[in-house]
């Protein structure tokens, strides 16, 4: 087996609300291997985002996180805020679900890219500009100079999502976390973004955690899949395992439903599309 890049043990997340404590993620163990894309599948509210946010130190102080999360010889759950900030955006990058609301509406794209570079490098203005253009070009965005001058609301969801992926990759992270990157997009754009992720996997060999509730999307990019239900990891295996020989009744239900939908899809389209 190849090197393990992220190793999570006994991760438990609970939230304190009005004197009561609710557990959102129970005793999770998983790891991500180098160059591998780990898919996390589960319906909304099952704790997928909580799992990755807790590892990256993105939760507020009213959340309690216990366990271990080893990354490059450091336990992320024990690291200081400043050390985690340094890791976020450079060593571990993340792409979020709602591209349209993830950028500050009052700031131009250029300044939001630039502040990311400033947070992790000591590049001067000229270098930041070069790198920003390079970032957009790599994501196949036409007329990057103009796009840089735009405000978020002036761009389409798909384009902003690609910029987000570009920002995530620009610091050459060791781990890329994508939290439902396709959920807010229309079908055609979804396909484009998925293709971009597959290319990243093939060309850059970046290790990835890909979160989704869409079996179709996960089958397209993930090497190995975790299934989450109500805060617990209930199943683990390849796409084929999950689809055909799921141990957990919840996973079986998910797979069966998906199969039924896919059958219908195939009939409608006449033939199976690549991504299904």
Partner 1 sequence: MKQYIMKRILLTIPLLICISFVCFVFINLIPSDPAEVALRVRQVPVITDEAIAEVREELGLDKPYLVRYAGWVADCLRGDFGISYTNPSRTVAGELARCLPATLQLAGTSLILVILLSLPIGFLCAVYRNSWFDKIIRMLVFMTTAMPAYWIGLLLMWLVAIKLDLLPTSGSGTFSHLILPAVTVSFTYISTYIRLIRNNMLENMKQDYVLYANVRGIPQKKILIGHILRNSLHTCFVAIGMSIPQLIAGTIVVENVFAWPGLGTLCITSIFNRDYPVIQTYVLLIGVLFVVFNLIFDILQTVADPRLRKEAS
Name the residues that contact Mg ion, by CB under 5 A.
49
Interaction between residue 50 and ligand ADP (CB under 6 A):
yes
Distance CA 151, CA 104 (A): 9
Does 173 bind ligand ADP (CB under 6 A)? Our answer is no
Contacts of residue 162, defined as CB under 8 A and 6 or more positions apart, other chains included, come to: 139, 140, 141, 192, 193, 196
Q: How far apart are CA 104 and CA 69, in angstroms?
A: 30
Contact residue for ligand ADP among 5, 48, 95, 164 (CB under 6 A): 48
State the minimum distance, in angstroms, from the CB of residue 59 to ligand ADP. Answer: 8
Q: Does 102 bind partner 1 (CB under 8 A)?
A: yes
CA–CA separation, 268 and 271 (whole Å): 8
Window contacting ligand ADP (CB under 6 A); options: 42-50, 140-148, 238-246, 268-276:
42-50
Binding-site member from 45, 66, 137, 140 for ligand ADP (CB under 6 A): 45
Going from the C-alpha of 254 to that of each of 97, 246, 257, 275, the distances in angstroms are 21, 10, 5, 18
- For position 103 contacting partner 1 by CB under 8 A, the verdict is yes
190 binds ligand ADP (CB under 6 A): no
Closest distance of CB 173 from Mg ion, Å: 20
103 binds, among Mg ion, partner 1, ligand ADP, none (CB under 5 to 8 A by kind): partner 1
**Could you tell me how many residues of this chain bind ligand ADP (CB under 6 A)?**
11
Which stretch, 26-34, 78-86, 139-147, 248-256, contacts partner 1 (CB under 8 A)? 78-86
How far apart, in Å, are the Cα atoms of 20 and each of 3, 95, 117, 129, 272? 40, 32, 40, 49, 49
Query: What is the distance between the alpha carbons of residues 210 and 153, in angstroms, rounded to a whole number?
Result: 26
113-144: buried (b, 16+ CB within 10 Å) or exposed (e) per residue? bbebbeebeeeeeeebbebbbebbeebebeeb
Cβ neighbour number for residue 266 with a 10 Å cutoff: 13
42 in contact with ligand ADP (CB under 6 A):
yes
Q: How far is the CB of 231 from ligand ADP (least distance, A)?
A: 7
In a 10 Å sphere around its CB, with 0-12 CB exposed, 13-18 middle and 19+ buried, how is residue 34 labelled?
middle
Residues that bind partner 1 (CB under 8 A): 56, 58, 81, 85-90, 93-94, 96, 98, 101-107, 115-116, 119-120, 151, 153-154, 164, 167
Residues that bind ligand ADP (CB under 6 A): 15, 17, 24, 42, 44-50
């Amino acid at each position: 087996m190849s090197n393990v890049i992220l190793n999570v043990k006994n991760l438990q997340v609970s939230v304190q609300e009005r004197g009561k404590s609710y557990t959102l993620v129970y005793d999770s163990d998983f790891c991500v291997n180098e160059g591998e894309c780990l898919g996390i599948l589960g319906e909304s509210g099952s704790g997928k985002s909580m799992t990755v946010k807790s590892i990256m130190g993105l939760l507020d102080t009213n959340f309690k996180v216990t366990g271990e999360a080893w990354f490059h010889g450091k336990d992320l759950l024990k690291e200081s805020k400043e050390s985690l900030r340094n890791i976020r955006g450079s060593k571990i990058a993340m792409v979020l679900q709602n591209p349209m609301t993830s950028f500050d509406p009052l700031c131009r794209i250029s300044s939001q890219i630039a502040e990311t570079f400033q947070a992790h490098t000591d590049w001067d203005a000229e270098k930041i500009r070069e790198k920003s253009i390079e970032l957009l070009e790599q994501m196949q965005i036409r007329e990057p100079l103009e796009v840089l001058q735009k405000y978020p609301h002036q761009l389409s969801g798909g384009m902003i999502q690609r910029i987000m992926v570009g920002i995530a990759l620009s610091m050459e992270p060791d781990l890329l976390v994508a939290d439902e990157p396709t959920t807010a997009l229309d079908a055609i754009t979804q396909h484009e973004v998925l293709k971009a992720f597959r290319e990243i996997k093939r060309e850059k060999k970046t290790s990835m955690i890909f979160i989704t509730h869409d079996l179709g999307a996960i089958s397209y990019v993930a090497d190995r899949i975790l299934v989450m239900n109500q805060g617990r990891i209930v199943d683990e295996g390849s796409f084929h395992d999950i689809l055909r020989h799921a141990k957990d009744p919840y996973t079986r239900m998910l797979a069966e439903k998906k199969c039924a939908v896919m059958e219908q899809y195939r009939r409608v389209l006449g033939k199976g599309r690549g991504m299904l």
